[in-house]
Structure 1
Amino acid sequence: MKAVVVENYDSIDGISIKEISQPGIAAGEVRVRIEAAAIGFVDGLKVQGLYQTKDPLPFVPGTEFAGIVDAVADDVPSFTPGMPVIGMARSGGLAEYISVPSAALKALPGQVAAEAGASFQANYLTGLYALSERAYLRKGETLLVLGAAGGVGIAAVQLGKLLGARVIAAASTPEKRAFATSFGADDVVDYTKADWRDTLKTLTAGHGPDVIFDPVGGEVALQAFRSIAWRGRHLVVGFASGTIPALAFNLPLLKGGALLGVDLAQIQKREPETHARLIARLFDWLASGTLKPVVGKVVPFENFREAFKTMQSRSALGKMIVKLT
């Protein structure tokens, strides 16, 4: 089968599609023929060996995928060949086939396309966990989403509206701000402007945002915290800017504010009941059409580098998808 293979931690141009053996099926596993795989910011870091944990070489990148069940181990009764599914794994998504434990898969509602399914689970679980379980976002509160046009940012915009918040989307270009508005943002700000905090102050009538959803980091994160409402909650989701900010401790004191970390990789391990409850809620919304995942640019398998480079340049609108079939 064909797969993107990382043999050395390298630039995106240094990896390529190779022929490797199709994976077998161990006890408890399901083999999936992949139709679409999502590429996130973390995937690009992993390929280059820049993420906080390193995948052993060689490896196939890609953590999120959607496809059709190809084969099932004898001890797995919950899946059958031909079923559409979505899944998450540590790696292996950028390949024609993947074998994973059955617990890593969820049935994909028939009306949801593979591209939408591949872009769903990580971003929307991160967003819902952050907003509902860490920040306890309440109806009527104001939510500021930094990097609002990216994959996890646009998920936070949609989820904030579903939870009853007023959503202000912060993004760096007119195209990105229009994109956020098209998915429900009530107002927008351009955080590249020197006076963007004045605009935010005007939009919130001097109150400031009650919750800040921050996958960006860097200087904009520090400036956003300076504008937070009294008893506001700042969600640290990631550092797409490439810079981890250092916050002076007097600021939380003066603002009565809280800095809250959000790490998707630890939710299932440390809070399994919460993880199961949130997944069930998300899939109910998905199946009913209440929540429609945002699909960003879709590129064919042979052009997979384009997906990585678009993420690296921070020009993506929504999540990048690689289409395999």
Structure 2
Amino acid sequence: MKAVVVDNYDSIDGISIKEIETPGISKGDVRVKVGAAAVGFVDGLKVQGLYQTKDPLPFVPGTEFAGIVDAVADDVTAFKPGISVIGMARSGALAEYISVPSAALKHLPPQVPFEAGASFQANYLTGLYALDARASLQAGEILLVLGAAGGVGIAAIQIGKLMGARVIAAASTAEKRDFAVRFGADQTIDYTKADWRDTLRELTGGHGPDVIFDPVGGDVALQAFRSIAWRGRHLVVGFASGTIPALAFNLPLLKGGALLGVDLAQIQKREPETHARLIAQLFDWLASGKLRPVVGKIVPFENFREAFKTMQSRSALGKMIVKFN
């Protein structure tokens, strides 16, 4: 089969598609013919060896995928060949086939295309875990979403609206701000402007945001925290800016505010009951049509580098998707 293979940690231009052996099926496994796979910020870091954990070389990148069950182990009863599924794995999704434990898969509702399925699980689970389990976002509260046009930012906007919040989307270009409004943002802010905090103060009537969803980091995160409401909650989701901010401890004291970390990789292991509850909620919203995953740019498998480069340049609107024939 064909797969993107990382032989050495390198730039995106240094990796390529190669012919490798189609994965077999061990006890409890399901092999999926991949229809679409997502490319996220973490995937780009892993390829370059810059992520906090490193995949052993060589490896096939990609954690999220959707496709059709190709074969199942004898002891697997929940899935049968021909069924559409979505799944997550540590790596291996940027390939024509992937084998994973059956527990890593969920049934894909028939009305949801592979591209939307591949863009769903990581971003929306991150958003719901952050806003529900960590920040306890309440109906009527003000939610400020930084990096609002990215995959996880758009997910936070949609989930915030489903939870009854008033959502203010912060993004750097008019195109990104219009994109955020299309998917539910009530108001927008250009955080590249020197007076953007004054605009935020006006939009919130001097109250400030009750919850800040922050996948960006850098100076904009520090400035956002300075505007947070009393007893506000700042969700630390990631550092797409490339800079980890250093917050003076007097600011949480003066604001009565809280910094809350959000790490998707640890949820299932450390909080299994919460993970199960949130997954059930997400798939209920997905099946009912209340939640429609936002698909960003779709590129064919042979052009996979374009997906990585668009995401790394922070010009992506929504999640980047690689589509297989």
State how far apart, in whole Å, the 1-side matches of 2:251 and 2:281 are. 35
**Within 2, Cα distance between the matches of 1:232 and 1:281?**
25
Which residue number corresponds to residue 192 of structure 2? 192
Letter in structure 2 aligned against 1:324: F
Residue pairs, 1:33-182, within 5 angstroms: 33-182=33-182
Supply the AA of the counterpart residue of 2:53. Answer: T
Q: Can you list the C-alpha shifts for 1:25-64, whole angstroms capped at 9, x where unaligned?
A: 0000000000000000000000000000000000000000
Q: Residues 203-249 of structure 1, C-alpha deviation per residue, up to 9 Å, x if partnerless? A: 00000000000000000000000000000000000000000000000
The alignment partner of 1:266 has SS state of helix
* Residue of structure 1 in register with 2:229 after alignment: 229
Describe the SS at the equivalent of 1:126: helix
- Separation in 1 of the partners of 2:22 and 2:235? 41
Rounded to whole Å, the distance in 2 between the matches of 1:191 and 1:42 is 24
Matched to 1:156, the amino acid is: A
> Deviations 1:270-315 (Å, cap 9, x if unpaired)?
0001000100000000001000000000000000000000011000
Residues 291-302 of structure 1 aligned to structure 2 (within 5 Å): 291-302=291-302
CA distance in 1, matches of 2:134, 2:24: 40
Q: Determine the C-alpha separation between the residues in 2 that align with 1:107 and 1:56.
A: 30
Classify the secondary structure of the residue corresponding to 1:254.
helix
Paired positions, count = 325
Paired letter, 1:201: R
Give the drift of 1:160.
0.3
State the TM-score, normalizing by the size of structure 2. Answer: 1.00
**Secondary structure of 2:185's partner?**
coil
Secondary structure, aligned partner of 1:31: strand
For residue 251 of structure 1, report the CA deviation from its aligned partner.
Answer: 0.1
3-state SS of 1:193 partner: coil
Q: What is the identity, as a one-letter code, of the residue corresponding to 1:287?
A: A
Report the AA paired with residue 274 of structure 1.
Answer: T
Unaligned stretches of 5+ residues in structure 2: none
Question: Amino acid of the residue matched to residue 322 of structure 1?
Answer: V
Map of 2:320 onto structure 1? 320
Unaligned runs of 5+ in 1: none
* Structure 2 residue 32 is the aligned partner of structure 1 residue 32: yes
Counterpart of 2:284 in 1: which secondary structure? helix
Q: CA RMSD in A?
A: 0.3
CA separation in 2, counterparts of 1:146 and 1:108? 30
Aligned counterparts of 2:311 and 2:44: Cα–Cα separation in 1 = 8
Shift of 1:200: 0.2
Between the aligned partners of 1:133 and 1:278, the Cα distance in structure 2 is 9
Aligned-partner residue type, residue 278 of structure 1: L
**Secondary structure at 1:206 match in 2:** coil
Give the structure 2 partner of residue 9 of structure 1: 9
Give the deviation of 1:152 after TM superposition: 0.1
Secondary structure of the 1:129 match is helix
Separation of aligned partners in 2, 1:207 and 1:281: 31
The equivalent of 1:246 in structure 2 is 246
TM-score calculated relative to the size of structure 1: 1.00
1:169 partner SS:
strand
Whole-angstrom distance in 2 between the partners of 1:193 and 1:41: 25
- Runs of 4+ displaced beyond 4 Å: none
Structure 1 residue 122: Cα displacement: 0.2
**Cα distance in structure 2, aligned partners of 1:218 and 1:293:** 27
Alpha-carbon separation, structure 2, partners of 1:174 and 1:107: 37
Q: Partner of 1:242: helix, strand, or coil?
A: coil
Structure 1 CA distance for aligned equivalents of residues 194 and 42 of structure 2: 29
Counterpart of 1:283 in structure 2 is 283
Sequence identity (%): 86
Offset of residue 176 of structure 1: 0.1
Deviation string, structure 1 residues 87-107 (Cα, Å, up to 9, x no partner): 000000000000000000000
Hey, what's the Cα distance between the residues in 2 that align with 1:155 and 1:107?
A: 20
Counterpart Cα distance in 2 of 1:229 and 1:278: 27
